[in-house]
Every structure is written in C-alpha cells, then in structure tokens.
Amino acid sequence: MSGLHGSIPESDELARRAAELIRARLARDPGVGRTADPAAVSALLEGAITDDGLGVDSAWARFADVVVPHGFSLDSSRFLAFIPASPSVASVWMDAVVGAMTFSAESWLEAPGAVAAERQVVELFAREAGFPADAGGCFMTGGSIGNLSALAVARDRAGARRRVLVADTAHASVANALHLLGMEATTVPTGADCRLTAGALRAAIGGLGDVAAIVASAGSTNAGVVDDLAGCASVAEECGAWLHVDGAYGLAAMLLPELRRRFDGIERADSFIVDPHKWLFAPLGSCALVYRRPWLARELHTQRGPYIDVLHNDGDAYNPSDLGFQLTRRASGLPVWFALAVHGVDAHRDAMRRSLDLARSLTTAIDSLPHADVVLPPELGVVLFRRDGWGAAEWTAWAMRLLDDQIAYVAPTTHRGETVGRVVFLHPETPDSIVDQLVASLR
C-alpha cells in the first residue's frame, strides 16, 4: 500500500493544519507580501521531492516556511496592482470542497448538480446582458481560454475571412488567441479616452471585406475603459462579423443598475466573458463564457471519441465541455454560485461599489495636487495618474517605497508611451486611509 489514499497516520494532523491555515487566512487581512530572488527560493526548496518522501511534518514545513511567505498576496486589501483578487469567505471554503469532491464538471452525466449550479450563474450573466432566453455558456479556467474559445467559434463561422479588428488597448490574451487560431489582428487606434468607437472601426475597415470578428472591451485591463459597445455592434452587423466582448475585469459592473447604461450594446454581442475571480470575489481560476447562440459553439467544440460518446447519448444534455476548448475541468463556477446563494447579488453589488467610491476619492485627491493629475476620469476601479517631472525611474522607485513600507503593492504602467502611476481598487475592505497614504507618497 502506498499510503496515497485513505487514512494515513498523519491524516488528522494534516487536515488540522490545512483547516487552521485557511481559517487564519480568512480571519484577517494578509499583508501585501513581496517577491523574492528565484535562486534563493529554489535553494530553500532543494531536496523537497525524494524517492522516499519527507512525510507530512517536513513537507508541510517546506510549504509553510518557503512557499507561503514568498510571494504577493493578491487578496490583500492593499494589493493595488494588475487586477487583484478578493475571494469571499464562502467562495474559498466552497473552492476547498470542490477540490475534495473532484466534481467532473465537463458533462451533465457526471456532475448534474454542479453543472446545474454553474449554469444558474451563466444564466444570471446572460439575463443581465439582455441575451435571449436560449443563450448559454460555461465556466472556464480564465479569461485567456475564454477568449480563445469564443474566437474559435468566430473563426468557424467566418468562412475564409481571417481579419479581426482589435483596439490598441485590448488584452494581450486576444492577440495570443488570434495567433494560435491563425487569424490576423488589425489594431484599431483609440482616441484620447482610450475607447474603441464605431468611427475608428469603419476607418480601419475601409474597403476590406474580410473582417471575421471585432473584439471590444468592457473594462480594459490597463485603464478600465468600456468601449462603445453599441457602436461596435452596429459595425459588426454591417460587415457580418462576430462581436466578442472581453469583459473579464469590468463587465461584472453591469450588475449595478447605476452603471448598466455604460454597457449598452452588450445585448447585441455574439459572445462575452466575465471573470468572477476579479470583481465578483471568487477564487482564482474562474471565467464565465456566454454565447448568444450556444449551438454554434457546440458545433465546433463538442469532442468525439469512443470513450466520451456516452456524454452525448442524451441529445438535450447540457455539457460545458461542448461550449469551450476544455474537456476535463473542475467546477470553478461552483464557489461563485455558492457565494451568490449565501449572500445574494445585492451584497456583491455593494462590495463592487466600494471600489468605485475609492477610485473617485483618489481621483479627487490627486486632482487637488498642484504637481499631479489624473490621466483619465476612472470609469470603474482603475486610476491612472501622472506626476510632474517623474519618468520610469521615479515611478519604479515610488512603487518600491510603498512596498518596502508595506503600504501597498502598486505597479506603474505606460499610457501612450508615458510611464504613469496605476492603482486598481477591488478589495471591499481596502481602508479609506489608503487614499491619503498614496497622495502623501506623491509629494
């Protein structure tokens, strides 16, 4: 007996340590953390994997003493870089349950309960977007594979056309997906407001008749800008192109009644994605991919083989694996569903509003400084700002000072070739005092 399965002498102790770690993590706001030299960390882990094994005590010590403290805490209320994460307590515990239960969530046959629960979340997004009742979709492991799966359907519907219009603000995963699919990206310049518009798209198309798809953003990653979705939809209809909306970060905000008009036009898209591990407070690794006409995705993505044909014996079965480029998958939508079931949608709306309030507060504070200004009025929780006389070196030093003092982790970015400050508010427990601290760091 290998001891890999069933009870081992240390089972109870391992369970105690794991549960204690999770409880402690959820009970308090973790520090920002920090990165480390690769060679140093590798040296600390040297000898961890052996023929005989280290046993629970020694293996746990390597994990707790090396793996855990060496890295940033994306779920810290002071992690303000990239697009943070802030999983709710309910979603974290359900994520642990999902790992233990090993739901085989690629098909209705194998996990009808989990798949039905995930489907409720997809239906919520489809309904809020104004999609028809027969719209559908599935959960994937992240926005990159969600974009790839949707754009593969767009290519399948486009015949010989291979040109895809994307904004100069599009997420890097879009270009990567197009490269993998053998499609040609045409970059469309955005204006001063960084928004992709119908006019810019028409100018880019010119007399070309080979446009297969248009990709718009509902909350661009760098600046949180929502493109002119209605205008993009009109142009897509004019040229018979597929409209895909990358809403990984910002489209969750369509759940807020006061912001819904900002996403007008989403109801005319052919597909969109939302990453609940961003602004819906789920654990990392969840993306909802939604299609207006899901049967088109099934025609492309359904996998066949003698060992999996049983999944399709019921022609009406709802199989997530038929809707995206992923067969085996964990039920990454179940923690989202559970948190929504526990707390309701309104609690999630209120948590999102906290980010908006902080972004507005920081904008007001920066605009009051004589030597700094905000680059763009924030639409969501991303704030870009500049300071007189600062270039790349000064912004890098600024970020390191904030990290050394454990005030926050921030990562400068570039806007139109200029290095600027960037802060992303997402965690609903980020303190008001962070605004004063950030402003003071610019003096």
Average pLDDT over residues 96-106: 96
Phi, psi of 187, deg, nearest 5? -80, 130
DSSP 64: I
| 418-424 and 382-387 strand pairing | antiparallel
Percent pLDDT > 70 in the chain is 100
Report the predicted TM-score, pTM, of the whole model to 2 decimal places.
Answer: 0.97
Residue 8 pLDDT > 90, yes or no? no
* pLDDT category of residue 2 using cuts at 50, 70 and 90: low
| 271-274 and 287-291 strand pairing | antiparallel
CB-CB contact of 329 with 320 (8 Å): yes
Token digits of residue 182: 């053998």
Nearest CA among 233, 293, 239, 237 for reference residue 264: 233
Report the side by side order of strands in the sheet with 413-415: 372-374, 382-387, 418-424, 413-415
Phi, psi of 61, deg, nearest 5? -65, -40
DSSP 262: G
CA distances for 37 relative to 34, 50, 71, 121, 123, angstroms? 10, 24, 10, 40, 45
Round to whole Å and give the CA distance between 299 and 282.
30
Least confident range from 288-302, 315-329, 429-443: namely: 315-329
- Per DSSP, helices labelled H in 276-382 are 276-279, 294-301, 334-343, 345-367
Where do you find CATH 3.40.640.10 in the chain? 93-343
Average pLDDT over residues 328-352: 97
pLDDT at 6: 78
Where do you find CATH 3.90.1150.170 in the chain? 345-441
DSSP 79: B
Round to whole Å and give the CA distance between 182 and 179.
5
Q: Position of tokens 């008009």?
A: 261
* pLDDT category of residue 1 using cuts at 50, 70 and 90: very low
CB-CB contact of 80 with 409 (8 Å): yes
Give 41-60 pLDDT, tens digit per residue: 999 999 999 999 999 999 99
Residue 110 pLDDT > 60, yes or no? yes
Token digits of residue 265: 């036009």
Token digits of residue 133: 């009742």
Average pLDDT over residues 281-310: 96
Residue 375 pLDDT > 50, yes or no? yes
pLDDT at 315: 73
pLDDT at 290: 98
pLDDT at 418: 98
pLDDT at 317: 81
pLDDT at 396: 98
Residue 245 host element (H or E): strand 242-246
| 163-167 and 184-188 strand pairing | parallel
As beta bridge partners, residue 184 has 163
Amino acid at 245: V
Fold of 93-343: Aspartate Aminotransferase; domain 2 (3.40.640)
Round to whole Å and give the CA distance between 270 and 276.
20
CB-CB contact of 382 with 373 (8 Å): no
pLDDT at 3: 76
pLDDT at 342: 98
Positive or negative, the CA dihedral 309, 310, 315, 317 is negative
Q: Position of tokens 């969109």?
A: 272
Amino acid at 261: R
Residue 366 pLDDT > 90, yes or no? yes
Distance of CA 173 to the CA centre of its chain: 11
Q: How many CB atoms lie within 10 A of CB 162?
A: 17
Round to whole Å and give the CA distance between 335 and 332.
7
Q: Is 26 exposed, middle or buried (0-12, 13-18, 19+ CB in 10 A)?
A: middle
pLDDT at 316: 77
pLDDT at 51: 96
Mean model confidence pLDDT for the chain: 96
pLDDT at 176: 98
Residue 414 pLDDT > 80, yes or no? yes
* pLDDT category of residue 10 using cuts at 50, 70 and 90: confident
pLDDT at 5: 83
CB-CB contact of 165 with 178 (8 Å): no
Give 136-181 pLDDT, tens digit per residue: 999 999 999 999 999 999 999 999 999 999 999 999 999 999 999 9
Q: How many CB atoms lie within 10 A of CB 380?
A: 26
CB-CB contact of 75 with 30 (8 Å): yes
Architecture of domain 345-441: Alpha-Beta Complex (3.90)
Beta strands in 39-167 (DSSP E): 71-72, 136-140, 163-167
Give 231-262 pLDDT, tens digit per residue: 999 999 999 999 999 999 999 999 999 999 99
Percent pLDDT > 90 in the chain is 95
Residue 113 pLDDT > 60, yes or no? yes
